[in-house]
Amino acid sequence: MNAGKSQPACAGPAYELAQRFAGTWQEFTVSDEGEELVGTLTSAFELDGCVISQRFLSADESFSFISFGYVDQESGQWLETYVFNNGRHASYRWLTNGDEIITERIGGNPEDLRRLRIRFLSADLYEVSEERSTDSGVTWEHVELTRTRRVSD
């Protein structure tokens, strides 16, 4: 028996995956004309690292959300719920696909599925490709690319 520090309740590969998002970030929409600042995202871990909370505020302060996520004990996957300042909400399941994280919307209209494909380019830069499917996930089309840069830890 180890008399030293015990293993934290919320530790392991799933938690390490999410730790990459901790900090304050600026999000930019990417187009052929360049990048445009969309807003600021702050991600932090609470409850001894068991919950990731995120707060977003658009550059013009007209749009915001708060989200919280946790690792589902049965599946071992992150589940995250967003609440938007327009009263809507959405929940997503995190999946890994090689070096990518894919967040798939839970529920909603099967004829208009949404997901985010996240690729880390470095410790301080990641891209998010928003995708949608109108054929129950058989094919996916690109909607928008966002580039996210770390401002601080």
The reply to whether the predicted model has a pTM over 0.75 is yes
> Is residue 88 one of the residues assigned to a domain?
yes
Contact by Cβ (8 Å): 45, 52? yes
How much is the pLDDT for 50? Answer: 95
Q: Is residue 146 part of a domain?
A: yes
pLDDT band at 5 (very low <50, low <70, confident <90, very high): low
Integer Cα distance of 153 and 142 in angstroms: 30
Give me the pLDDT at residue 1, please: 45
With beta carbons less than 8 A apart as the criterion, state whether 100 and 119 touch: yes
Q: How many residues does the chain have?
A: 153
CATH code for the domain in which residue 92 is found = 2.40.128.20
Rg (CA), the chain: 16
Confidence of residue 8 (pLDDT cuts 50, 70, 90): confident
- Give dist(CA 114, CA 25) in Å, integer: 23
Q: Is the pLDDT of residue 6 over 90?
A: no
What count of other Cβ atoms lies within 10 Å of the Cβ of residue 131?
17
Classify residue 5: in a domain, yes or no.
no
Q: Is residue 114 part of a domain?
A: yes
Q: What pLDDT does residue 4 have? A: 54
Q: Identify the residue with better confidence: 98 or 61.
A: 61
The answer as to whether 6 is a domain residue is no
Asked, for residue 8, whether it belongs to a domain, the answer is no
Residue-wise pLDDT tens digits, 121-134: 999 999 999 999 99
Distance separating alpha carbons of residues 128 and 120, to the nearest angstrom: 9
User: Within a domain: residue 7?
Assistant: no
pLDDT bin (cut points 50, 70, 90) of residue 21 is very high
List, in order, residues 6 or more apart from 97 with CB less than 8 Å away.
none
Domain interval for residue 112: 13-152
Q: In 10 A of CB 30, how many CB atoms?
A: 15
Tell me the per-residue pLDDT of 64-112, one tens digit each, with 9 for 90 and over. 999 999 999 999 999 999 999 999 999 999 999 888 999 999 988 888 9
Q: Are residues 80 and 69 in contact, defined by beta-carbon separation less than 8 angstroms?
A: yes
Number of folded domains in the chain? 1
Q: Is 2's pLDDT higher than 50?
A: no
- Distance separating alpha carbons of residues 91 and 135, to the nearest angstrom: 20
Q: Is 32 among the domain residues?
A: yes
Question: How many CB atoms are closer than 10 A to CB 141?
Answer: 10
